[in-house]
């Protein structure tokens, strides 16, 4: 059955990607989840969606990740889905991935509902012609996080040190991974603090215990280095997780900390100016075989504008990587 966006995916062959064609997507963080009139973005009129995709296209993007914070594919009526894709296509925008967030399959009291919602989202993603299903184990914000200037500076939910809960996470995520694989989708699990995906070793162990080749990591290391507390070295985080990475959220933060670990602070930055050296990360990832979508993120300020700057930076790095060398007929 043809998907609503076959026009986007017909040439989806990673072996042919170059620095100019590598799929780099924009996030929707810069757009309000509720319109000025009080309507949820999910239910917004066509002109609201049209304005958003027009801005994404004007910023130089041809792809956008659909986070369920803005639109829930599993809950969108077919007529509205078709309207969404028609609007996106009119601006030359494809939607290659969905990111399901804050619906952990081990969230106390919501395990079964969240699991069922994830299954419905996978079916929708496949029907919509997407290429990746991304999720994680992060839970809804606490009241303290909602009140904080930056949510990562306030305490959030924590996955328990409980073998039974760990085993439940493995079982349910394996179930989702099998479902996703059955409809042709890889599943990516996002690194996130205080979850079973909150350290490199724990994230790798989780993927290995799930035991499916189609389930990997979304190695969003920046989620961890922004914390105002001692953190793992970003080099070690990437070294351990990139071999398992099949989808990649990228953003960066400046970071300063005391030598004795007594304090730390961070703030959003461009990819080029933050703590993580993404020139090294991207070159190493591509050289070691990573062939996945890169999704640009940013919190605060002109999110879309920073993402556009980051896309230019990413392509400049790829131009001198293995991809660029291959395009020019050279060998590494």
pLDDT above 50 for 301: yes
The whole-number average pLDDT for the span 264-275 is 98
pTM: predicted TM-score of the whole model, two decimal places: 0.94
pLDDT (tens digit per residue) in 209-266: 999 999 999 999 999 999 999 999 999 999 999 999 999 999 999 999 999 999 999 9
**Residues 32/41, Cβ–Cβ less than 8 Å:** yes
- What pLDDT score was predicted for residue 325? 44
Q: Which two tokens stand for residue 211?
A: 């035991």
Residue 328 banded pLDDT, cuts 50, 70, 90: very low
Give 8-50 as a DSSP string: HHTT--GGG--TTTS-EEE-STTS-SB-TTS-BGGG--HHHHH
Q: Which two tokens stand for residue 313?
A: 């930076």
First to last CA, the chain: 40
Q: Which domains does the chain have, with CATH numbers?
A: 18-324 (3.20.20.150)
- Indicate the pairing of strand 215-218 with strand 294-296: unpaired
Residue 4 banded pLDDT, cuts 50, 70, 90: low
E-strand stretches of 143-285: 187-190, 215-218, 245-250, 252-257, 264-269
């Amino acid at each position: 059955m043809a998907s609503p966006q076959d026009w986007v995916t017909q040439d989806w062959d990673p072996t042919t990607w170059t620095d100019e064609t590598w799929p780099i997507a924009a996030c929707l963080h810069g757009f309000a989840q509720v319109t000025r009139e009080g309507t949820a973005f999910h239910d917004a009129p066509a002109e609201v969606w049209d304005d958003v995709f027009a801005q994404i296209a004007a910023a130089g993007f041809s792809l956008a990740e659909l986070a369920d914070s803005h639109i829930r594919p599993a809950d969108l009526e077919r007529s509205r889905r078709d309207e969404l894709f028609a609007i996106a296509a009119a601006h030359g925008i494809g939607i290659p991935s969905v990111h399901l967030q804050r619906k952990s399959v081990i969230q106390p009291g919501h395990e079964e509902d969240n699991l069922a919602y994830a299954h419905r989202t996978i079916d929708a993603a496949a029907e919509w012609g997407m290429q990746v299903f991304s999720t994680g184990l992060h839970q809804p914000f606490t009241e303290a996080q909602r009140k904080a200037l930056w949510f990562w500076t306030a305490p959030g939910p924590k996955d328990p040190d409980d073998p039974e809960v760990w085993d439940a996470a493995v079982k349910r995520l394996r179930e989702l991974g099998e479902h996703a694989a059955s409809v042709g989708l890889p599943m990516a699990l996002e690194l996130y603090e205080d979850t079973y995906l909150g350290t490199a070793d724990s994230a790798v162990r989780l993927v290995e215990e799930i035991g499916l080749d189609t389930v990997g990591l979304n190695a969003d290391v920046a989620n961890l280095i922004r914390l105002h507390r001692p953190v793992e070295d970003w080099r070690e985080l990437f070294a351990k997780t990139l071999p398992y990475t099949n989808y990649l959220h990228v953003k960066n933060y400046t970071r300063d900390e005391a030598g004795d670990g007594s304090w730390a602070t961070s703030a959003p930055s461009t990819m080029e100016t933050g703590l993580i050296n993404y020139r090294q990360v991207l070159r190493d990832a591509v050289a070691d075989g990573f062939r996945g979508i890169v999704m640009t993120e940013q919190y605060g300020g002109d999110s879309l504008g920073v993402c556009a700057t980051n896309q230019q930076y990413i392509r400049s790095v790829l131009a001198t990587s293995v991809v660029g060398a291959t395009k020019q007929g050279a060998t590494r």
